[in-house]
Chains A and B, each alone.
Chain A
Amino acid sequence: MRRIGIWIAVGGLLLATAACGGGDSGGSASGTPKAQSLAVGFVAEPANLDFTSTEGAAIPQALLVNVYEGLVKLDQAGEIVPLLAEKWEVSDDRKTYTFKLRENVKFSSGAPFTADDVVFSLDRVKSDWKLKIKSQLDVVDKVEKKDDSTAVITLKQPSNGFLYSMATRLGAMFSRTGVSDLANKPVGTGPYVLGSWRRGDSIQLDANPSYWGTKPPLSSITLKYFKDATAMNNALLTGGIDVISSVQAPESLQQFADPNRFEVIEGTTNGEVVLSMNNGRPPFNDKKARQAVRHAIDHKALLDTAWAGRGGLIGSMVPPTDPWYEDRTGDYPYDPAKAKQLLGGKTYNVKMRIPNLPYAVASAQVVKSQLAQVGITAEIEPLEFPARWLDQVFTKGDYDLSIINHVEPRDMGIFADKSYYFGYDNPEFGKLLASADQGTEQEQTDDLKQAAKLLSDDAAADWLFLFPNLIVAKKGVTGLPENAISESFDFTALAKQ
């Protein structure tokens, strides 16, 4: 009966639509997009355009590398490559970096880019930036201009993190005359400039006619913002956009299965989907209980069930695009018998308080059923994200298990802070991180490999999977950044055949 009711409803709606819609559609203008422009769908819209004072990944995602450039950038393999600096030299004591700048570079305002702007931009991080991440550049002692095209940066102590930070928004170069209205009028040296911004809808970037490097292939790119995943999928199906920058639910991919119309690109991200265990209170203050959880979870089955098999398995807090990545998935193979043995026959009731996000809800179901088989009964409680999850789990630490995608790059260091919501406390880990930052690159890699191993051995948490970067594009769109491993969505090479 119910099904019949629905069909009548649909039929009635169509009848009514047909009855009143007749004359209305006459006003339709041509739907063809302008030549050489592309529209890309995103989930989160920037609150404003000033990433020096406003948190939020959406701002650097749109502007970094595209509008603002740094001396260096992160390429698709995770390597630091030259951008506004042609090359750089590091002194023997690893405390002085001398950057040779590209010449004939201009800001979109017409002002030339020189070493004075490097000094200005980096000093400004200290004096004017309001974000917490600015502390990453605390290691900088002074920034000096040697000549117009040479800048010298001296560090307080050797730091491997420094150059990496320079590839993030912290290293973005600003014009001395272009910072009066950062929230609305970005002035950078990049291949694109801000065209227009329709708040709540889209941002248009136009090609920068006076760009110093290879001119971008497109004349404009529109970043369209969708809060609703279905609306974004529909927009691609109907030609409203050309690219979905990141698919929110892999099961929706089947709509784009036709290879003559669409292309699905799967890459990696920095997002480790962490099954966090509260190390600060029973039962998971006991290492054996945490190890039992790791043995109890069949990660491959979880990924297949919860996320359609998209993504990778990692086993610790390092994504494969970091130089110190090692496959740690063998540390705790799926072994329910061993898990039971580690629990010593005891059973537990625990609270799994997760954010109400699709990947967390899907994963939690699988985790719950797998844990049940070794005697851990997990009660799932979804909390509204971000507000309630941040308050209850992140700030107050009131949870036993939780699941969240930690998306920040090179973020293993969060385990070094014992007040962080994991409650993980192993001084050895902090020592490894400190020595990694100050050693040579080789020492850094060795130390961090060891740190990742320590986290895994201690079962500080469990790493369910590495979040995939899923892009869907109309056939013929080229130059999409396959991996989402920097703060920016790099439009530089984006083109349409």
Chain B
Amino acid sequence: MTLYLLKRLAVLLASTAVAAVVVFAFMALLPGDPAEIALGVNATPEAVAALRQQFGTDRPPVAQFLDWSGGLLQGDFGTSYVTSSPIGPQIGDRLGVTAVLVLGGMAVALAVAVPLGTYAAVRHRDPLGAAISAVSQVGIAIPAFLAGILLVFVFAVQAQVLPSGGYVPFAEDPGEWLRGLLLPWASLGLVQGAVLTRYVRSAVLDVMREDYLRTARAKGRGSTGALWRHGLRNASVPVVTVLGLQLATLLIGAVVVERVFVIPGLGDLLLNGVAGRDLLLVQGVVMVLVAAVLVINFVVDVAYHLLDPRLR
């Protein structure tokens, strides 16, 4: 297990390093000069040149990369071109908001998927079980932002029971914080929940066909009891893998959902950064997102090992 951990850790670090190079290279390829954009239609060639020098974008790319990656190793993301303030704390603030959004969305997804998926598997011949299966198929086809727009239309614009957007920090007003997050959580969670429902259903179905479950039932446990005692842990192995993949999808989905709901999270920061060609900021945010996805995959792999003794 220790050896496995070390191996996985080495892969994690190597992928992060490769990701840093790729992220930087993409930013360098992005058309548009940060200095030109900062000065807008009032720009003169001299002012643009001076600003380029101030930003350090007039140096060779390799020097810029070494500077940036060296800073990253020390936890320094550099200074934003647009706001002239350090990027690290900005990302930190926004990451908290996005994390709440993603974890809430995950919780909604699980709350939907586990009971519905299990029910659909156990009662897969009932009309209701089949209906759940069919509806989840439809849910898969809806992107999170569309779900968001529909939810806003129904619950905010028509019914006027929830705000259409905006974010109130928890410390300021916990009630409003929750109200503001319900629709974003729902739009992220329901779509992912639909996907997850299908995995839960097929995982539970597989388990139900296993010999050991039949044996358990033969030994006198009720069918629910047998599933509860012996089935769920086994069914959870493929579900955890999917969950990890979905967490990454949720993180990316959050970028778009934040814009729909006017939530000041990482996605909002990222899109602003792209529009203003605040390249260092964009690099920083993308790096954090990439690192988060890599860490999630790492944790999933390790969890997989813990859940499935055969892999140890």
A residues at B contact (CB < 8 Å): 5, 8-10, 12-17, 19-21, 24-25, 27-29, 31, 47-48, 53-55, 131-133, 183, 198-201, 224-228, 230-231, 234-235, 237-240, 384, 386-388, 390-391, 394-395, 406, 408
Contact = CB atoms under 8 A, between A and B. Distances in A.
A238 B164 CA distance: 7
B33 interface: yes
A404 B152 CA distance: 33
Given A27-B174, A132-B44, A133-B42, A183 B112 contact: no
A225 to B, nearest CB: 8
B170 to A, nearest CB: 11
B132 to A, nearest CB: 10
B173 interface: yes
15 contacts: A5-B141, A9-B141, A12-B135, A15-B135, A24-B182, A27-B179, A29-B179, A31-B179, A48-B84, A132-B42, A201-B262, A240-B163, A387-B37, A391-B32, A395-B33
B156 interface: yes
Contact of B139 (A12, A133, A228): A12
B93 interface: yes
Nearest to A53: B84
Given A47-B83, A391-B32, A227 B268 contact: yes
B94 interface: yes
A239 B277 CA distance: 34
A168 B171 CA distance: 38
Contact of B37 (A9, A54, A237, A386): A386
B175 interface: yes
A13 B164 contact: no
Interface of B: 30-33, 36-44, 47-48, 82-85, 90, 93-94, 108, 111-112, 135, 138-139, 141-142, 147, 149-152, 154, 156-157, 160-167, 169, 173-176, 178-179, 182, 186, 190, 193-194, 259-262, 264-265, 268-269, 271-272, 275-277
- Considering residues A10, A20, A198, A384, which has the most beta carbons from chain B within 10 angstroms of its beta carbon? A20
B108 A20 contact: yes
A200 B98 CA distance: 13
A37 B82 CA distance: 31
Contacts of B90: 199
A395 B271 CA distance: 24
A406 B30 CA distance: 26
A9 B138 contact: yes
A329 to B, nearest CB: 25
B182 A132 contact: no
A466 B41 CA distance: 19
Top 6 nearest A-B pairs by Cβ distance? A200-B264, A387-B32, A29-B175, A234-B164, A27-B178, A12-B135
Quick one: which of B90, B112, B141, B166 has the most chain A CB within 10 A?
B166
Contacts of A390: 32, 36-37, 40-41, 43
A234 B165 contact: yes
Given A16-B194, A20-B193, A406-B41, 6 more contacts: A9-B141, A27-B179, A201-B167, A231-B164, A231-B261, A390-B36
Given A198-B264, A228-B262, A132 B165 contact: no
A369 B300 CA distance: 57
B179 A201 contact: no
Contacts, number: 175
Nearest to A9: B138
A14 B147 CA distance: 10
B268 A200 contact: yes
A59 to B, nearest CB: 11
B38 A231 contact: no
A388 B277 CA distance: 10
B267 to A, nearest CB: 10
Given A132-B42, A395-B36, A200 B269 contact: yes
A132 B43 CA distance: 8
Contacts of A234: 152, 156-157, 164-165
A228 B260 contact: yes
Given A21-B182, A48-B83, A201-B264, A12 B31 contact: no
Contacts of A8: 138
B156 A28 contact: no
Contacts of A237: 156-157, 164
B156 A238 contact: yes
Given A198-B169, A201-B167, A238-B160, A227 B259 contact: yes
Nearest to A386: B37
A388 B169 contact: no
A199 B96 CA distance: 14
Nearest to A31: B163
A388 B31 contact: yes
B31 A199 contact: no
Given A227-B259, A238-B156, A240-B164, A13 B264 contact: no
B95 to A, nearest CB: 12
B112 A20 contact: yes
A13, A201, A237, A395 interface centre (most CB from chain B within 10 Å): A13
Nearest to B271: A227
Contacts of A230: 149
Contacts of B165: 226, 231, 234-235, 240
Contacts of A16: 112, 135, 139, 190, 193-194
Contact of B272 (A19, A133, A227): A227
Contact of B111 (A10, A20, A53, A55): A20
Contacts of A224: 166, 262
A200 B267 CA distance: 11
A256 to B, nearest CB: 12
A198 B83 CA distance: 15
Nearest to B116: A19
Contacts of B160: 238-239
B135 A55 contact: no
A406 B265 CA distance: 32
Contact of A394 (B41, B147, B277): B41
B39 A25 contact: no
Contacts of A14: 154
Given A228-B262, A234-B156, A387-B32, A29 B173 contact: yes
A48 B169 CA distance: 21
Contacts of B164: 231, 234-235, 237-238, 240
A48 B43 contact: no
A231 B276 CA distance: 21
B154 to A, nearest CB: 7
A8 to B, nearest CB: 6
A199 B44 CA distance: 30
B39 A55 contact: yes
A225 B271 CA distance: 14
Given A9-B142, A16-B190, A388-B31, A55 B42 contact: yes
B176 A10 contact: no
B269 A25 contact: no
A415 to B, nearest CB: 13
A257 to B, nearest CB: 15
A183 to B, nearest CB: 7
A408 B268 contact: no
Nearest to A404: B41
Contacts of B157: 234, 237-238
A265 to B, nearest CB: 22
Nearest to B259: A228
